[in-house]
Structure formats: structure tokens, C-alpha cells
């Protein structure tokens, strides 16, 4: 097995998180290795998720304890981690209950269990 760490500025097809800064409430300004920065709001996801490992991040002190590891933005020991492509869209991340996503999967195959509301504006850090 070969592990390639592309956490820095990359010229390849790998998208990674370079930096994240706490803004307010449950919003972060995330900077990617393609020089794009997006504001992502995790509030709706945190409030709607029933899982106790996620609920503990409603405490802003815990939420602010995020870190970047191997180009991924994560909390704890992978308690909470999101696809980089989803974060790159920016906007609001929403929790979709498993029942809703299962019913929707029958109508629309391969839907994610989370979605973002896109805000298509560039933010410069």
C-alpha cells in the first residue's frame, strides 16, 4: 500500500484543506489548496444530528477544537469529518435522517446523507 500525503499546496488533482478559522456560532472560514476560501455553517447539521458524538460539538468550546490532519478538517479522533468536496461548496451543511435518505435513494440513486446550501462567493482571507 502506498500512502500519498497531499496536505500542502498541490499541483495535482487532490483537493485539501490548508487552513480553517473560527468565525462565529458554528461557522468556519476554510481555505483550500486551490486558493479558494469558503464559509461553511455546521449549525443545522449539529442541531439535527441525534448522535451523541456529534451533539457534544454543540458546545462551542468543543466545536472550536477542530484540526487539520492529512488535508482533512476534523474534530476529535475522526468524530466528525466531512468530504472535502462538500466543504469546498461552502454554505450550510444539513443533516438528513437515514429514513429520508433511504426513501430518496429509491427515487434518486446515490444521494448523500448530508447536503450543502451553496453560497457562490469568493472570500479572501
**What is the chain's pLDDT, residue by residue, as a tens digit (125 residues)?**
555 555 555 555 689 999 999 999 999 999 999 999 999 999 999 999 999 999 999 999 999 999 999 899 999 998 999 999 999 999 999 888 887 555 555 665 444 455 555 544 444 44
Which residues sit opposite 37 in a β-bridge? Answer: 31
Q: Are 19 and 30 in contact (CB under 8 A)?
A: yes
Model pTM above 0.85: no
Q: Are 84 and 77 in contact (CB under 8 A)?
A: no
Amino acid at each position: 500500500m502506498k500512502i500519498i500525503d497531499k496536505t500542502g499546496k498541490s499541483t495535482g488533482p487532490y483537493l485539501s484543506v490548508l487552513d480553517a478559522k473560527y468565525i462565529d456560532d458554528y461557522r468556519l472560514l476554510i481555505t483550500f489548496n486551490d486558493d479558494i476560501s469558503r464559509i461553511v455553517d455546521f449549525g443545522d447539521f449539529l442541531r439535527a444530528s441525534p448522535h451523541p458524538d456529534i451533539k457534544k460539538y454543540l458546545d462551542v468550546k468543543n466545536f472550536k477544537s477542530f484540526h487539520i490532519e492529512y488535508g482533512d478538517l476534523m474534530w476529535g479522533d475522526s468524530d466528525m469529518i466531512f468530504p472535502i468536496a462538500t466543504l469546498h461548496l461552502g454554505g450550510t451543511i444539513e443533516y438528513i435522517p437515514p429514513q429520508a435518505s433511504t426513501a430518496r435513494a429509491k427515487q434518486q440513486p446515490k444521494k448523500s446523507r448530508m447536503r450543502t446550501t451553496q453560497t457562490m462567493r469568493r472570500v479572501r482571507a
